[in-house]
Chain A
């Protein structure tokens, strides 16, 4: 396989990359309102990373996305997630202490037809975001590791 694909593909990837990212983060942020959530949105974002690997080849992608940073992000996402569970310990572990509190993500949800108010859901929203960070980083690391490994195998076969 050639290291890079043609100019047409590269240009289109650069354009589409942004939209995939935005869509992925949309799914993460609206996890409590629409189908999807942290995991699904994170996978969408990671699919953008996979697109980069396909288009630009392993080496350039490794320079652009640092695997080290991604794996730090992965642990950070998990720690944020469990911290929100710990914050609920005033009542119980995983207690949704933010819902209906009026602060961050704390508006009460409207029953019936509504425009999809993002500021609801309490810790569910926050945890979705944490899971989103974790999944995009973890799947990103997996994609990068696999592309690296397949490149090593290709070199060996030559």
Chain B
């Protein structure tokens, strides 16, 4: 048992990677559902190991894994003053994101078993899905900034191919994929440039080591601007959100759910860079306000664009932008008061808890909503809301799941969206009442647009062309039901999650010293 735990950081990414390479070979012999089951089992194992690590990290502190070293925990072999190998450093924040990735990718694979059954080229689909999962784990666990760039690239390439996967139906998926490819290439180049700036100045690539010697020179400022801009772009924040609606609406539904988590991995990297790499060496008030403004713009523009959409997945994609705004707002407030211990204690930490809790909640309910949209598409063959109607008669499970997801995203009490939004409203109000009021207004608009979706897709009399529509297959129902259960559980017992998962994650971000000393010892 302890052996597995020692190697769990490596195995979590190694197992999906091995499976990704095995899938094309297995796919030669078994072209039916077997492939989907195999991938689900592998991702289920990764999920179990992530939970095992979470249990360990939350009670015993960060896990360190040195790749290729003689011992997993030996960061500085004798004679070395800086770490040279690739090191995975998983602290409270990293494992928090890791759990999201694990849950979402596992359910995405389960959902795919039935959803993708009719498609050809499934071995390529599952290979890419596994590679995307590996890359997301890597981005969240790595403690090496060049390694982060590598995983960012893997995630981008896998996502591009997955977005364009259904190009045989029309040209639009290819267009969305191309758009995302351009955005990702620019982002990757800028990250690489920033990595070069760090390496040129400090001769190290380990993030903890860079953080410990950070001088905040002019070059560091340039690197900061590059990293904040492109990571916000990859996270889908307004004014760099142009890829999000296309990519989210054209990808197959389970992939959209995983893409949401992938863009949150970029969001995580944004927080990691500002908090762990720079921390209070930077002018936290200015950067904090920049992130807050990005957040408020994303919230408001995202939701106003969403209301007018007719395509159900496009509408949800704009809501994803809007919800990203809440996370940026919460964590931005925390960053703005980072240098002020009194304010940080009284509302800064709470605001960050709200923002970070919202990351997990958003991954769950937005995942559920995209899956219900996928279920509607699976049975009706359209994403156009004007062509749907009366589906509640035949698809009762999907209807219930949609209600749960929509209530959660709108922040209605017994569901998880309410829990995190309430924390954000209360704490941000102490920072600046106006921001809190905008956040509430956005929430109301969110509710309005989901009432519209619910009415046009589910309510009304049975339509002629959908007389024979049935409930979706079991694997899709199971995936959606699991997410719905998580949403209700988080909504009923938010304290359990906030105290045990979210608070350690916030503390891991704030305490930069813990981050650096985990690698460098008591330097």
Contact = CB atoms under 8 A, between A and B. Distances in A.
A83 B25 CA distance: 15
Nearest to B86: A94
Interface string B290-327: 00000000000000000000000000000000000000
Contacts, number: 54
B72 interface: yes
B166 interface: no
B68 A75 contact: no
Given A92-B10, A92-B65, A78 B21 contact: yes
B18 A93 contact: no
Contacts of B18: 79, 82-83, 86
A75 B17 contact: no
Interface string B21-41: 110110010000000000000
A82 B11 CA distance: 12
Nearest to A78: B21
A51 interface: no
B466 interface: no
A88 B7 CA distance: 11
Q: How large is the interface on A (under 10, 10 to 19, 20 to 34, 35 or more residues)?
A: 20 to 34
B84 interface: no
B213 to A, nearest CB: 26
A93 B25 contact: no
A22 interface: no
Of residues A72, A76, A95, which shows the largest number of chain B Cβ atoms within 10 Å of its Cβ? A95
Contacts of A78: 21
Q: How large is the interface on B (under 10, 10 to 19, 20 to 34, 35 or more residues)?
A: 10 to 19
Given A72-B28, A82-B14, A85-B14, A92 B21 contact: no
A124 to B, nearest CB: 10
Given A72-B28, A88-B68, A93 B10 contact: yes
Interface in B48-72: 65-72
Contact of A92 (B7, B17, B22, B25): B7
B68 A79 contact: no
A62 interface: no
23 contacts: A74-B24, A75-B22, A75-B24, A76-B25, A78-B21, A79-B18, A79-B22, A82-B14, A82-B17, A86-B14, A86-B18, A88-B68, A89-B7, A89-B10, A91-B69, A92-B65, A92-B70, A92-B72, A93-B7, A93-B10, A93-B11, A93-B14, A93-B65
Given A79-B25, A93-B11, 18 more contacts: A72-B28, A75-B25, A79-B21, A82-B17, A85-B14, A86-B14, A86-B18, A89-B7, A91-B69, A91-B71, A92-B65, A92-B66, A92-B68, A93-B7, A93-B67, A94-B67, A95-B69, A95-B70
Interface of A: 71-72, 74-76, 78-79, 81-83, 85-86, 88-89, 91-96
Interface of B: 7, 10-11, 14, 17-18, 21-22, 24-25, 28, 65-72
